[in-house]
Amino acid sequence: MKGIVHHAVYDTLADWETGHATAHLRNGRYMREPGGYEIVTVGPTTDPIVTMGGLRITPDLALEELSPADSALLILPGADLWDAGAELAPFARKAGEFLDAGVPVAAICGATAGLAREGLLDDRDHTSAVVQYLEAQAGYAGSKHYLDRDAVLGGDLVTAGPTEPVAFAREIFRRLDVYRPEVLDAWFRLFSRSDATAYEVLMAA
């Protein structure tokens, strides 16, 4: 294994947003070097959570146990709870610790709003569902860094809107530098557009 990718889990987690990233990071297929990443789930506590789709997940560790020094990446999925109050704010603060330590963070959908409220998007290129969604968040002052793209890699931060799980994974792979450029392009073409010509490139990898 190349290291540990930490995946935040909490009630109402949007099931569809991170599966492409975690599955391919774990299996290691098409990567420059053999071996994948261990995926470790992190909850508010180690009590089970229930996703938006009704799946029950028991976290591997509690958020208070998580250190950037032990991680290659922190993934923050969307969830209804991001827009329902401050319950998930500790995850956004932990993301700030990761970024301060130079460890990448990947946030999608509502998690981008959580980062916006922490001021973590104010000086980094980023995206979300729409810029107006972020402008509605108290503490956000990053409009000039907002990019209207499917997903954005801004230094150590990956962001995407809720309809872009494949592009989200693409930028995670780009930040971790796990695929050669032509393989990353082929992976995206296959999983986003069902481009059959991309399969040949992946098989050659």
Instruction: Give the Cβ contact number of residue 5 at 10 Å.
Output: 24
What would the pLDDT profile of 5-64 be if each residue is shown by its tens digit? 999 999 999 999 999 999 999 999 999 988 999 999 999 999 999 999 999 999 999 999
For residue 166, the enclosing domain spans 4-178
In a domain, 70, yes or no: yes
In a domain, 39, yes or no: yes
Q: What is the mean pLDDT of residues 104-128?
A: 98
In a domain, 89, yes or no: yes
Q: What is the mean pLDDT of residues 95-105?
A: 98
In a domain, 187, yes or no: no
Instruction: Give the Cβ contact number of residue 126 at 10 Å.
Output: 28
In a domain, 184, yes or no: no
The pLDDT of residue 1 is above 80 = no
Which of the residues are catalytic? 109
In a domain, 203, yes or no: no
DSSP-derived pairing of the beta strands 105-108 and 157-160: parallel
Sorting pLDDT into bands at 50, 70 and 90, what band is 205?
A: confident
Q: What is the mean pLDDT of residues 114-139?
A: 97
Give pLDDT, residue 94.
98
Give pLDDT, residue 24.
97
**pTM for the complete prediction?**
0.97
In a domain, 195, yes or no: no
| Strand extents, DSSP E, the chain | 4-8, 38-43, 49-50, 56-57, 61-62, 73-76, 105-108, 151-154, 157-160
The CATH number that applies at residue 122 is 3.40.50.880
What does the alpha-carbon distance between residue 6 and residue 128 come to, in Å, rounded to a whole number?
21
What would the pLDDT profile of 145-188 be if each residue is shown by its tens digit? 999 999 999 999 999 999 999 999 999 999 999 999 999 999 99
Q: How many domains does the chain have?
A: 1
Beta bridge pairs of residue 79: 13
